[in-house]
Amino acid sequence: MNAISQMLVNGQNDLSWFESNLRNLRLKYNNEFIAFHKKKILEHDSNLDNLIEKLNGKNINPSNIFIKFVSKVRVIL
């Protein structure tokens, strides 16, 4: 499997993990942004800019991971 295919598979696995664990994530990280990769929470914060700073401080490129906002309240647009 080439690198791009592997990235796509890993990304799909992470999104599936997020959806499967959303109930627990809402309990623990309500109204926060979470950064995750390989089914692991890397950082979390209620402020996106602060989250990005934390990731940069750990030498994690935010464009290479998923960042999602987690809330118990469902937003309908």
The pLDDT tens digits for 11-27 are: 899 999 999 999 999 99
Q: Treating both helix axes as pointing N-terminal to C-terminal, what angle do 3-20 and 22-29 enclose, rounded to 10 degrees?
A: 70
pTM confidence score: 0.84
The answer to whether 68 and 34 have CB atoms below 8 angstroms apart is yes
The answer to whether 25 and 59 have CB atoms below 8 angstroms apart is no
What's the pLDDT at 75? 64
- What mean pLDDT is reported for the chain? 92
Residue 44 pLDDT exceeds 70: yes
Strand partners, 70: 32
Residue 29 pLDDT exceeds 90: yes
